[in-house]
Chains A and B, each alone.
Chain A
Amino acid sequence: MTKVTMTVNGKARSAEVPDNTLLVDYIRENLRLTGTHVGCDTSQCGACVVHVNGQAVKACTMLAASAEGAEVTTIEGVAAGKDDLHPMQIAFKENHGLQCGFCTPGMIMTATDMVSRYKEAGKTLDEHAIREELEGNICRCTGYHNIVKAIADGASKMA
């Protein structure tokens, strides 16, 4: 067993977990933050994307113990306040960028990360770039058309 301590969505959290506990299982099972999903077992689908110290990470590729001391943000923590929505969340709704909703949290976490990175690097996040950046997130419902639109819209709203 290993004691892990990290800040999740702004709150200090700590628990004793088996050494091999994945970050995603710690988030889902220990913290009961079930918005982070598991869609595969080969780190391909991106349903489990969270932010660790401000970077998008597939939470299934990381041990909880590796996130010791980290700042972790999940879909439940992206909005500014309890009754608020993040501009990217609004953009997914307004552009019908989701259907079954299972890949959506990972998509939104990936999207906000890509917008921040492009802004920091002073690069333009055009449609082609959005599609390439979504390489690690699979959606089976939408055909991506409206996800791409949502991210472009969300990016402009985040400006």
Chain B
Amino acid sequence: MTDQGIGARVLRKEDKRFITGKGKYTDDIVQPNQAYAAFVRSPHAHANVKSIDASAAEAMEGVEAVLNGHQLTGDGIGNIICGWGITSKDGSPMNMGAWSALATDKVRYVGDAVAVVIADSKAQAQAAAEAVMVEYEVLPATSNVLASMKEGAPQIHENAPGNLIFDWEIGNKDETDAALASAHHTTTMDITNNRLSPNPMEPRSAVATFDESEDHYTLYTTSQNPHVARLVLSAFYNVAPEHKLRVIAPDVGGGFGAKIYIYPEEIVCLWASMKTNRSVKWTSTRSEAFLTDAHGRDHVSTATMGFDADNNIVGFKVNTKANLGAYMSLFSSSVPTYLYATLLSGQYNIANVYCDVQTYYTNTVPVDAYRGAGRPEAAYLIERMIETAARELGVDPGELRRQNFVREFPHQTPVIMAYDSGDFAGNLDQAKAAADVAGFPARKEEAAKRGKLRGLGYSNYIEACGIAPSAAVGSLGAGVGLWESAEVRVNPVGTIEILTGSHSHGQGHETTFAQLVSERFDLPTDNIQIVHGDTDKVQFGMGTYGSRSGAVGMSAISKALDKVEAKVKKIAAHVLEASEDDIVIEGGEVKVKGTDKAMGWHEVGLSAYTAHNLPEGMEPGLKEGAFYDPTNFTFPAGCYICEVEVDPQTGVTEIVQFTASDDFGTIINPMIVEGQVHGGIAQGIGQAMMEHAVYDDDGQLLSGSYMDYCMPRADDVPNYTVSHHSTTCPGNPLGMKGCGEAGAIGSPPAVINAITDAIGNNNLSMPATPSRVWAALQQVSAAQAAE
């Protein structure tokens, strides 16, 4: 390999523009004759729209147009879709309520847009939006699943009686019930997974331009998957046919799932550009982001885990009620089903698993995938359960896990997934050693002398990434295939462009992908350019989410590189009069093994394009493409150990040590992978201790700014000790598993297991704020006083 190939800590190629302020984000883009959009949003969670009076707004200076939902639907703009169909237990399809990009007769959450103002300046648009008079008939609202499922609850969509979207199941109910009935010990818990606001730091933004002379649209947007955006905007929303719509996702400032979906604002900006014949720009304020970016999590579950007399897990049964918000967002239905319950076997060999899931509408912003998407909910459930069971059984929580680990691969779980590789005990051992678990009792004793309660918690997560085999997800209801595409262009001077359908919004693809090419052709990464995020440049792609860019996106690149390598060898063998089998590529040259015969790498490129001396029948040029469809999910896994100190006087918890041992398979750039783990752990700590998206009973968002929604700051989180113990993934050519979500999946249960260990009370929900921890400590004191 080169010093810039696989496994090298190469500094990022993309950093220069970001550290100098030259990054190009959507809001930085200015089009000629650009106007600004401001949305008129419902202040009510649930209301009938009686009338909209735009006359005052229309008369204001700079206002180009005020447009409403009736005009939008009248122009044939289609309703927003959910792209994954889920079938209920009784065979019925899910109840998908209509979602227009601008509401027509009814609004269903605070922030639901009813009209848009297009004006010369942002300030003029905002002022005019406030002057649009909307008459509402306010209806009773519901903001959580327990309220939505009640008899007589407000009916949010006519075609979803009782607000039920679907009632789905997986696994074998009868066998699981029987296993639990005959279990020696059972642990039962009610577990809530708190609702979160994703909060990428760059707010969503869109700049739409309609070119009347060409009947063509261009959309700059903050998207994790510009091709999917174009497909959906075209095929379902009827904004423009695909060949007349270019979608560009330039530098995107974080996604975390929230920028997968195609939101009302992008549809409206495109349509309004056509209506007004001007470029239309909209950039979300942070307040709008809290109201309108799809939220994450929000599960309420009851679970029972059963053990035999030897502490082997014999059955696991879960019921989950999931809040999907006021409308079904693009992948919302897949999150609490196939991305969640299929992971409920965890790292453990459990013969019987059953889960049923009911999803409900509420008068809240839609809920969809947020970093981890279903897998954090599964990991939290399993890892809280097994830690609690260990305490009830009086055994070491690490050892209870160890004895139940899956040890042979492939391993078919009772809930679809077939784990292909892993060494769970190896990760446990590595993490235990790094965290010095053996020294914990002494540290606890020392902390007690300082008046602090010290606790330690484990989490052994597993997730499914590399999303996903197209035929498999198709059979489960997905509306799309989840392969990836790549194109490798070797230029006549030997430099290389890689066109990829993956999209980087912080992950460092420009560096990591270049390292893959550097490894293959022994070229410096400076000679390699990664092109992504533009539907006019890249043929098609499925984008970046579900930790798929490595395992799927890079596998596509690898396949295309195979083809380029084969052609390079053919050309060199022909020119150098040698056998293809004797050609090697190294040190910037293409050589005949064991001889001094060689061509420069650039000479091969030049030969391909001059085409003066190519093998008989060979086409000129050096450009190859590939599509890669994975054969299985990948299964990153690991062990996280969190150690905390709680101040019993205040309930303030400090994470004093956080240790991770991950199995991501092959790692291309350890520096970047460690960064992904750091960020994921911080988000998981945020969920565990700080973050909570809260609506009141009337559907008003109480956590609508950074003053109310507690984002982790630098002084809230520790340094992280990150290590790797990897097994190669047999499912893709590079052996990669994916690392983007692991931190956020694995860390919340480790944190809560540590805090509950410290305070001696298992009755603690996320986020474990100081007031909640303090209250839990008071329960302990009260119980002790009563004894």
Interface residues of chain A, those whose CB is within 8 Å of chain B, are: 18, 20, 28, 32-42, 44-45, 47, 74-76, 79, 85, 89, 92-94, 96, 98-105, 108, 127, 130-132, 134-135, 137-148
Given A130-B714, A144-B714, residue A99 in contact with residue B679 (CB < 8 A) = yes
Q: Which of B473-481, B670-678, B770-778 contacts A (4 or more CB under 8 A)?
A: B670-678
A143:B717 contact, CB within 8 angstroms? yes
The residue that A76 contacts in the complex, of B20, B27, B199, with Cβ under 8 A, is B20
Residues of B within 8 A of A139 (CB): 201, 714
Given A135-B714, A138-B711, residue A100 in contact with residue B720 (CB < 8 A) = no
Distance between Cα atoms of A139 and B717 in the complex (Å) = 12
B253:A94 contact, CB within 8 angstroms? no
A94:B21 contact, CB within 8 angstroms? no
Residues of B within 8 A of A42 (CB): 286, 705-707
A35:B21 contact, CB within 8 angstroms? yes
Residues of A within 8 A of B506 (CB): 99-101, 141
Task: List CB contacts (< 8 Å) of B708-738 with chain A.
Answer: 711-715, 717, 719-720
Q: List 5 A-B contacts (CB under 8 A).
A: A28-B28, A99-B675, A132-B715, A143-B683, A144-B712
Beyond known contacts A104-B19, A135-B714: 17 more, CB 8 A cutoff: A33-B21, A34-B27, A35-B22, A39-B286, A44-B711, A92-B19, A93-B11, A100-B252, A100-B254, A101-B19, A101-B253, A103-B201, A105-B19, A134-B715, A140-B199, A141-B675, A144-B678
Closest B residue to A105 by beta carbon equals B21
Interface residues of chain B, those whose CB is within 8 Å of chain A, are: 11-12, 14-25, 27-28, 30, 123, 199-203, 251-254, 256, 283, 285-287, 505-508, 671-672, 674-676, 678-683, 705-707, 711-715, 717, 719-720, 743
Residues of B within 8 A of A33 (CB): 21
Whole-angstrom distance between the Cβ of A1 and the nearest chain B Cβ = 12
Given A100-B505, A134-B715, A145-B678, residue A140 in contact with residue B707 (CB < 8 A) = no
B720:A92 contact, CB within 8 angstroms? no
The residue that A100 contacts in the complex, of B22, B202, B706, B712, with Cβ under 8 A, is B202
Whole-angstrom distance between the Cβ of A109 and the nearest chain B Cβ = 10
The residue that A41 contacts in the complex, of B253, B287, B675, with Cβ under 8 A, is B287
Residues of A within 8 A of B202 (CB): 37, 39, 100, 102
Nearest 9 CB-CB pairs, A to B? A35-B21, A101-B18, A102-B253, A143-B682, A100-B506, A44-B706, A75-B21, A143-B678, A99-B506
Residues of B within 8 A of A37 (CB): 25, 201-202, 253
Distance between Cα atoms of A56 and B23 in the complex (Å) = 21
B21:A41 contact, CB within 8 angstroms? no
Residues of B within 8 A of A34 (CB): 21, 24-25, 27-28
Closest B residue to A79 by beta carbon equals B20
B714:A41 contact, CB within 8 angstroms? no
A100:B200 contact, CB within 8 angstroms? yes
B285:A41 contact, CB within 8 angstroms? yes
Whole-angstrom distance between the Cβ of A91 and the nearest chain B Cβ = 9
Residues of B within 8 A of A148 (CB): 714, 719
The residue that A94 contacts in the complex, of B11, B25, B705, with Cβ under 8 A, is B11
B720:A135 contact, CB within 8 angstroms? no
Distance between Cα atoms of A120 and B694 in the complex (Å) = 44
The residue that A140 contacts in the complex, of B12, B28, B254, with Cβ under 8 A, is B254
Distance between Cα atoms of A101 and B253 in the complex (Å) = 7
Distance between Cα atoms of A37 and B286 in the complex (Å) = 12
Distance between Cα atoms of A36 and B201 in the complex (Å) = 13
B678:A142 contact, CB within 8 angstroms? yes
Residues of A within 8 A of B17 (CB): 101
Distance between Cα atoms of A102 and B250 in the complex (Å) = 13
Closest A residue to B254 by beta carbon equals A100
Distance between Cα atoms of A100 and B16 in the complex (Å) = 12
Distance between Cα atoms of A65 and B720 in the complex (Å) = 44
Residues of A within 8 A of B712 (CB): 143-144
B254:A96 contact, CB within 8 angstroms? no
Closest A residue to B22 by beta carbon equals A35
B707:A44 contact, CB within 8 angstroms? yes
A89:B19 contact, CB within 8 angstroms? yes
Whole-angstrom distance between the Cβ of B158 and the nearest chain A Cβ = 36
Given A18-B123, A92-B15, A140-B254, residue A102 in contact with residue B25 (CB < 8 A) = yes
Closest B residue to A92 by beta carbon equals B19
A144:B717 contact, CB within 8 angstroms? yes
Distance between Cα atoms of A47 and B252 in the complex (Å) = 14
Distance between Cα atoms of A20 and B127 in the complex (Å) = 13
Distance between Cα atoms of A39 and B676 in the complex (Å) = 21
Whole-angstrom distance between the Cβ of A106 and the nearest chain B Cβ = 9
Closest B residue to A145 by beta carbon equals B678
Closest B residue to A42 by beta carbon equals B705
Closest A residue to B715 by beta carbon equals A131
Distance between Cα atoms of A78 and B625 in the complex (Å) = 42
Identify the interface centre among B16, B28, B674, B713: most chain A CB within 10 Å of its CB.
Answer: B713
The residue that B201 contacts in the complex, of A18, A85, A93, A140, with Cβ under 8 A, is A140
Whole-angstrom distance between the Cβ of A103 and the nearest chain B Cβ = 5
Distance between Cα atoms of A93 and B679 in the complex (Å) = 17
Given A40-B706, A135-B713, residue A85 in contact with residue B19 (CB < 8 A) = yes
Whole-angstrom distance between the Cβ of A8 and the nearest chain B Cβ = 13
Identify the interface centre among B17, B680, B681, B715: most chain A CB within 10 Å of its CB.
Answer: B715
Given A89-B20, A101-B23, residue A147 in contact with residue B714 (CB < 8 A) = yes
Distance between Cα atoms of A39 and B18 in the complex (Å) = 15
B201:A39 contact, CB within 8 angstroms? yes
Whole-angstrom distance between the Cβ of A51 and the nearest chain B Cβ = 13
Closest A residue to B722 by beta carbon equals A145
Distance between Cα atoms of A138 and B413 in the complex (Å) = 40
